[in-house]
Structure 1
Amino acid sequence: MNKIHINYQDTSIMCHDIYDIFPKKAYNVENVFEQEYLKFIIEHEKHIPTLDETLHLLKRDMDSAYLKNHPIDFLRLLSELVKTDNRLVYEMPKVGTDDEIRLVSPKNFTKKQAIELLEKHYNGEDAVLSKGVSFEKIKDEMLESHNEFCIKYVLANDDDSGMRLKALDLTNNKTVIVNVAFNDDDDVVRLEDMKKIGYDPVLLIELIDHEENTCNKKYLQKLLVDDEGLYDFIIKDNPDITEETLIDNFNEKYDHILADIRRKNDLINLLSEKIEDESENKKKEVINEYENLIDKLTSDYNYSLETITDEELLKAIIRYHPNQTIRIKAMKNMNIRDEDFLKEMALNSNEVYLRKLAVLNPHMNDKQTLMDILLHEDEDYMRKAVLDNVFFDDMKTLLHIKDNDKNDEIRKKAMDN
């Protein structure tokens, strides 16, 4: 790849020989800074301005109040000039070193970082980007915004248990909380998660059976027997229970529920075995054959489908089970990671809610699919879902939506992004 080398001692306009790889762009701009910037580009159309030259224009034309309110305006324009085919190609040496720095899309700068960069130059200091800012580096800010997609992404993918605890603290989504309780590999994260579950006797009994950490198991047992709801739970089907028979009846009911849970888990294992390495037609046959048992499994144990880890079983249920409620519950499972399946559901499912869940799955990061939905989807909440997906950062599409979408809220959300 050709590189643009900048001589920081040369204050004249930089020249180079690769201008032809950057096609001329047609802009329709309104704010004064953008008009002035584009005038500069037109006057020097055989040159791509350096970062410092761009900042110089900003310093000349903007006051400090504008910097604080619109720190990313210039970054977006600069990005438009220096990327092609959605790949960044503009590289420059870091002052005083042999290191090279890649400029990144404005979506990957936090507002705070953009302001710091601009104010450095505005105050006469050397303004150089130290490195590109990826999503990994803005997770804290995204979590602070309570972005649901980001919360699920961190809980499902982040190796840092501290980050997962932070994300856990920000969610009250019962489906997500239960999934973490069954599947997170950190004892402390699971314990903190269990504290958010509330009193749900059947779920607590299953977690007690599933949990391997002794401390966590004791917490769950204490939660189950100490809560005032336990008495109602025990006498629900037997009002003749007395204080003398309470413990015996509790043990009897506990054992009965535990036996049901283990039969349920045996059914899940059986289904997994029956569809393993089978054709789609065979998987459909299996789901149809066990349709009623899957229905009962879901009605008796509300969170079974949301915590299954067998991705192939989940996909088969979503594709072939006739009950929409069952399909939706399975689609909410964060353990679905198959990108091709998520694309299939997002683009081709006849059920809009399933499509929305596919877009908001924390492993959906196919930008072309997200772009197609944002540009062509009629349902407002589908387009909103795309804008909630932190992996979508195509500037041109966001600008188009900002200027043209029929929904005021979506236009504002695109502008904020």
Structure 2
Amino acid sequence: MKVYVIGVGMTKFEKPGGDWDYPAMAKEAGTKALQDAGIDYDRVQEAYVGYCYGDSTSGQRAVYELGMTGVPIVNVNNNCATASTALYLAARAVRGGLANCALALGFEKMKSGSLEAGYTDREQPLLKHIEHLARLHEFAMPVAPWMFAAAGREHMAKYGTTVEQFAKIGYKNHKHSVNNPYAQFQDEYTLQDILDAKPIVDPLTRLQCSPTSDGSAAAILASESFVERHGLQDQAVEIIGQAMVTDLDSTFDGTAAGIVGVHMSTVAARQVYDQAGIGPEDVDVIELHDCFSTNELLTYEALGLCATGEGGKLVDNGATTYGGRWVVNPSGGLISKGHPLGATGLAQCAELTWQLRGIADARQVPGAKVALSHNIGLGGAAVVTAYRGATA
């Protein structure tokens, strides 16, 4: 059974620390998605709500801002892949015939600064990953940038990738975000600015790292019969392939790349291409998980945009920005748009829906017909989704 995105909405992503609370965030994003779909909340038959930082049933509290109709509401927590996991579950409900209309919503109200463990009296989910990586690369703090920086240094040692190539990704994504009113940052920097920014963990500087953020995003999914019944064919965007892959034995193959999820991403992408009957050459626009610039480059290779070891060449050739073969992270990506963990994957869905409808304003990728999103959480899960526009 086919699944369509019929409505999307999101808030502006903002620096944490304000009085803005998650019910208000969710109300704004969810209301926008319902209005975009042209339906009332009472048409929604199931809801999947993602967040990482919050008490149990925060999903209910958030969705109750849209209505209280007694429908199943499932709380979802899957690290940085939380929002895409909510999308994945909502899509499965529709594809399996369990619901004609489902809501996927994600939000996060975060603390400023680096991510911290929620509980210190029990084993951390990433402990095994961290221990394995510490045998390969000297441990450093903060943990998340250390992990992805190690994968970047590994790539440099194996393939000759340069500090400048990683910095160019930060330059590109900040430049893209200038045209995104939803982005936490909308400042453009020179390449030298990126290189000279505060060092975090070599080779990463501050302007190559995603910030903590507050915000929310939502998507309304529907069946083909629902789309036809409500006359939504012109705005519906079809999900033509979707896969979630968790850690494999190869995660611990002795490489930093494996530990930060490259193998999960590679397998998920292959499954999606097979489902959709497409290849990377058929994709026009991509929103991928650039939590750090090093991960964007690794993900080029995982998604099959180039061979392993050749991600730096894509950067130097301008293949991943406007005028290139693909436009990657037209929103500014996590680096510049922001990264509220529970909302990120649904913000990607919103951006790609706008791109495929041709309504992304100054960010619009000319002639975009097929899109791909990639969202990863360590510990772990990788979710890849392929979309096709209504007019494709």
Higher relative contact order (CA 8 A, sep 6+): 2
- The alignment's TM-score, normalised by the length of structure 1, stands at 0.25
- The alignment's TM-score, normalised by the length of structure 2, stands at 0.26
Hey, which of these two has a bigger chunk of strand by percent? Answer: 2
Hey, which of these two has a bigger chunk of helix by percent? Answer: 1
- State the structure with more CA Rg: 1
